[in-house]
């Protein structure tokens, strides 16, 4: 594929590569850590932010470089076979890549703060694919490129995704409230049953002690009745019961029956 970079940019890249080689020879190298968002979802025609940061033990200088690559997920795209440089940053300046990204890629990071993020505006469906972020901060040049999967979707799909997240959040909050209400009802019922049990226990103790004075009163009343003068006591009354069954010995069968008649005044 024919290179679309201007001659000045190509010479600058070659010079930076030569400088890196000189630094690598003169100083020991260390690893650099690069981090980026794993996935970014944007609506078609809007601005997509591709964030990338790095950690280095060395001070950022003019030889620090940032390179963004893109590999399309569409088989019919020219960027499908291998990653293609779409943005290059060095010496405080950014250099856009091919025409497809030249007017849409903008550097929005701060390299002194280890932020090398870019934005892509506007986004197209042809931007679906993988973006790679690579940083070299000599002598920290060894490190794994960070990658971000960009998904450009329709407005309706983006709205449905947001609605799904909102509905899921509301359902989760309602479920938590229901669980709290159920737990509160259980605690109140347990406390109420315990209160009723204590009330019954105290009531039974009072009832068990209450009849004692009443028995004393009744015994006193009975004693007063028995000691009070009320006339002569009448003894038992004896009645005779005849047998009318018609047998011969019926006349001689008489069984006395005693009916006790205790009369009290």
The stretch 171-184 carries a mean pLDDT of: 88
φ and ψ at residue 259, rounded to 5 degrees: -110, 115
Locate 157 and state its tokens: 């799909």
HSE of 197 in the Cβ direction (CA atoms, 13 Å)? 6
Identify any residues that bridge with 95 across adjacent strands, giving them in sequence order: 88
For residue 259, what are the CA distances in angstroms to 165, 229, 233, 256, 262?
96, 25, 16, 10, 9
Q: In this model, does residue 188 exceed pLDDT 50? A: yes
Better pLDDT: 258 or 195? 195
Contacts of 163 by beta carbon, 8 Å cutoff, 6+ apart:
none
23 pLDDT tier (thresholds 50, 70, 90): very low
The stretch 85-96 carries a mean pLDDT of: 93
Domains of the chain: 31-151 (2.60.40.10)
Q: Is 163 left (phi over 0), alpha (psi -120 to 50) or beta?
A: alpha
Cα(67)–Cα(61) distance, rounded to whole angstroms?
A: 16
Question: 124 near 101, Cβ under 8 Å?
Answer: no
Residue pLDDT, tens place only, 114-130: 999 999 999 999 999 99
Q: In this model, does residue 146 exceed pLDDT 90? A: yes
Percent of the chain residues past pLDDT 70, beyond the cut: 58
**So what's the pLDDT on residue 27?**
54
């Amino acid at each position: 594929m024919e290179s679309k970079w201007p001659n000045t940019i190509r010479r600058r890249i070659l010079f930076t590569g030569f400088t890196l080689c000189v630094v690598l020879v003169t100083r020991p190298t260390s690893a650099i850590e690069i981090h980026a968002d794993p996935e970014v979802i944007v609506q078609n025609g809007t601005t997509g932010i591709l964030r990338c940061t790095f950690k280095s033990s060395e001070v950022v200088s003019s030889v620090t470089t940032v390179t963004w690559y893109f590999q399309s997920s569409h088989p019919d795209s020219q960027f499908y076979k291998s990653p293609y440089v779409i943005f290059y940053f060095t010496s405080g300046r950014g250099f856009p890549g091919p025409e497809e990204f030249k007017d849409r890629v903008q550097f929005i990071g701060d390299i002194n703060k280890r932020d090398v993020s870019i934005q892509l505006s506007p986004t197209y469906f042809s931007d679906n694919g993988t973006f790679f972020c690579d940083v070299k901060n000599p002598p920290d040049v060894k490190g794994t490129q960070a990658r971000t999967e960009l998904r450009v979707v329709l407005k309706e799909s983006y709205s449905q995704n947001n609605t799904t997240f909102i509905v899921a959040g509301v359902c989760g909050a309602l479920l938590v409230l229901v669980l709290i209400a159920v737990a509160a009802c259980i605690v109140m019922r347990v406390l109420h049953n315990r209160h009723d049990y204590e009330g019954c226990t105290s009531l039974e103790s009072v009832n068990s002690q209450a009849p004692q004075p009443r028995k004393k009163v009744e015994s006193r009343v009975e004693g007063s009745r028995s000691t009070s003068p009320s006339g002569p006591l009448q003894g038992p009354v004896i009645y005779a019961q005849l047998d009318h069954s018609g047998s011969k010995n019926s006349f001689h069968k008489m069984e006395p029956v005693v009916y006790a008649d205790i009369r009290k005044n």
